Chain A
Amino acid sequence: MPKQYTRNSKDTVNVLFCGIGGQGVLTASEILSDAALLEGYHVKKSEVHGMAQRGGSVESHVRFGRQVFSPLIPYGQADFLVSFFKEEHDRMTGFLTNKGIDLIKGLSIALDSVVDKRYVNIFILGLLSRYLILKEDNWIRAIERAVSSKYSEENKKIFIKARSDEYDLG
């Protein structure tokens, strides 16, 4: 497991998701937000949909902490950049803080490891979960609440695999 990402408890954790419509960007950010909510944090998740289903750019800002003000992560203050599409990633790197963690390597690991591409999003979320102090139970509950029961077991399995296996995230 990589070192867990610890911060002063009064700080806000900022996770920026990006990708294109149809990749499950919004489902992934929904699961993180719900897990943070279950953990007792104040959460704000902001995104613009409308064009999302038609292959356009999608970005979702998730912030959680004791009290969150702006729904948007200020430029240069993202702690994590979680990308589902390389070109979108390249556009968003400026959002990261100096010490921010870029999970772009996780995208290629996911694309290599996941056979059914519908589960790439949950795999990458599993990789992200290794850095965050959110209880596994809350992640699992959040997954169950976000995906239909038909796909719930497979999602949980892939999430746990990505969360637990040894991957070199660089």
Chain B
Amino acid sequence: MVDSQKTKVVLLSGDEAIAQGAFEEGVRVAASYPGTPASEILEYLAQFQEVDSQWSVNEKVAFEIGLSASIAGGRSLFASKHVGINVAMDPLMTSSYTGVNAGFIIVSCDDPGIHSSQNEQDNRLIAKIAKIPLLEPSSPSEARSFAAIGFDISESFDTPVMIRLTTRIAHTKENISVGTRKEIPKRDFKIDIPKYVMVPRNAYQRHILLENRITKLKKLSDTSPLNKIELNSRKIGFITSSVSYLYVKEMYPDASIFKIGFSFPLPDNKIRKFSQSVKELFVIEELEPYLEEHVRMLGVKCKAKHSSFRIGELRPEYIKDIVNEKEKKEDKVATRKPVMCPGCPHRAVFWALKKLKLIVTGDIGCYTLGALAPINSLHTCLCMGSSITFFEGFKRVLDKQVVGVIGDSTFVHTGIPGLINLSYNQMKGLVIILDNGTTAMTGNQPHPATGLTIKGNKTKRLNLEELCKSCGADNVSVVNPHQVKELEESIKKSLSLDALSVIIARAPCMLLTKDKDQAPSVDKSKCKKCYICLSLDCPALKKCEDGSVEINEALCSGCNLCIEVCNAKAIYKK
């Protein structure tokens, strides 16, 4: 019971609310790798002394830390953005076989609408394929209470439990009453080789138990209060889950609704029962037709969204269009594009790469912005760590000069195997590590090469230079990208060598450093209006109405890159 004296109501996001729920339920170990929209879960948990929380090297590592901590007897949590779950797929797929000991929650934060990701995969399908029970809260307040239910199901059924948020829930704030932590004692760890050693014979036996577990979970799903029928007008009924439920409530307050909160396995009997109590049945869900296909498989007649609505996020006003069986009209209004910050060290690197007309295989981070006009100097980006491997594939086919570009955090996450592969398979050429000393795009989280933990404590610092040498790089050099001429020379030299080279372009992220230098001035009499400076796409540089270029001193960091690139020497410092 929550002590009402100590209860206070605050605004928490879905991420913070699920973390608060897990905290109150005695979570001991929590692990994740930063990724929008999931990052705030671990950042919130890191404030509590009682929780052993960490940024792991990547999601596979984080998942295994979480699962093994649970097997060893402590409640644990793993959180990830949807595509991070892919990195953790190997342990995830077999975790339903081993099961758990103390409760283990997997939080998947999906990103319908692709606000900050490379795709919009629907991880409800992953829960199904991995045979892991799935809970779908619709709001931050549900996210908080579902954490407790998740731990309970996990321990009662000896299984990991996935709780799926979406960006809209993860980044919505709502009134949450904050309670105190329950003390949940550790469970004993008993050696159990048939359960925890997944060799063929044991895994086969565990698969039998897993199928039995799913049958039992199906019964639970049919009786669970998370799957709630709200009977109103019988004229129209909706089967819905996640935030879509709230959009339906908003637009059809008088309709009957079957709200699915426990969505794998699905409650077949309740679905049939609900379908019989309404005249017309609609299934409303974001992304994949997960509920729709299941309802149809049961032989239940229903209507659902046109396939065009599988793309992007739903909005409340779309519900009426779906009910009216319309197609989605794509919004034509372009939103403003993001840009690298003034003084961002990545800008200088892309300037040099563009000048040298190189093909650049890129990766995931702020520097992916190097692909946007007018820079246009990053030519591939698929998933974390793919820059170095793409570099190799390109080199094996393409008769042009290619460079791989990867951030420091991404390199540690999944870039290292690609570098070893280059060396092992006798590849030559250049990889550039953009080392700004942080995981910038997701909110400046530390990583192993920063020497700091999630709680801000000092730890052993991973030495990237030594690491690259050990991976097999013939030359490793460190260059300050703000010295753009030196950087350019260094790139040219590396490309001329018959060797595997790594350049570490090292300068701190401008969001972390407070070092601002004086802003330069523009000598309008010297300016030839060639606008080469504007091609840097720096927010501090602006073209005036008279055609001259102006520097916004409030935005400028004084990085001097525009001075370096101005051939007319019209930009100078006093």
A-to-B contact residues, CB < 8 Å: 20-21, 30, 33-34, 37, 42-51, 53-57, 69-72, 74-76, 87-88, 91, 117
A52 to B254, CA, bound (A): 37
Contacts of A69 in B (CB 8 A): 246-247, 249-250
Question: How many A-B pairs with Cβ below 8 Å?
Answer: 103
Say yes or no: A37 contacts B11, CB within 8 Å. yes
Binary contact readout B140-178 vs A (1 if CB under 8 angstroms, 0 otherwise): 000000000000000000000000000111011111000
Q: Number of residues in B with C-beta < 8 Å to the partner?
A: 41
Contacts of A47 in B (CB 8 A): 171
Say yes or no: B338 contacts A54, CB within 8 Å. yes
Please classify the interface of chain A as helix (H, G, I), strand (E, B), loop, or mixed, using the class held by over half of its residues.
mixed
B511 CB–A CB distance under 8 Å: yes
A50 to B511, CA, bound (A): 14
Q: A53-B511, A76-B317 are in contact. Are A70 and B247 (CB under 8 A)?
A: yes
A74 to B172, CA, bound (A): 15
Which of B206-214, B329-337, B377-385 makes up part of the contact surface?
A: B329-337
Partner pick for B340 among A34, A42, A54, CB 8 A cutoff: A54
Contacts of A30 in B (CB 8 A): 11, 173
B339 CB–A CB distance under 8 Å: yes
B-to-A contact residues, CB < 8 Å: 9-11, 36-37, 113, 115-116, 139, 167-169, 171-175, 243, 246-247, 249-251, 315-317, 333, 335-341, 366, 369, 441-442, 511, 539, 554
Please classify the interface of chain B as helix (H, G, I), strand (E, B), loop, or mixed, using the class held by over half of its residues.
loop
Say yes or no: A71 contacts B246, CB within 8 Å. yes
A35 to B11, CA, bound (A): 11
Q: A33-B173, A44-B174 are in contact. Are A71 and B168 (CB under 8 A)?
A: yes
Say yes or no: B37 contacts A72, CB within 8 Å. no
Partner pick for A91 among B167, B247, B333, B511, CB 8 A cutoff: B333
A69 to B243, CA, bound (A): 9
A91 to B116, CA, bound (A): 21
Say yes or no: B336 contacts A87, CB within 8 Å. yes
Q: A74-B250, A75-B317 are in contact. Are A54 and B172 (CB under 8 A)?
A: no
A76 to B539, CA, bound (A): 33
A54 to B169, CA, bound (A): 22
19 inter-chain pairs at a CB distance below 8 angstroms, sorted by A residue, are A20-B336, A37-B11, A42-B175, A43-B175, A44-B139, A44-B172, A44-B173, A44-B174, A45-B11, A45-B173, A51-B338, A55-B341, A56-B338, A56-B339, A57-B336, A70-B246, A70-B249, A74-B250, A75-B317
Say yes or no: A70 contacts B250, CB within 8 Å. yes
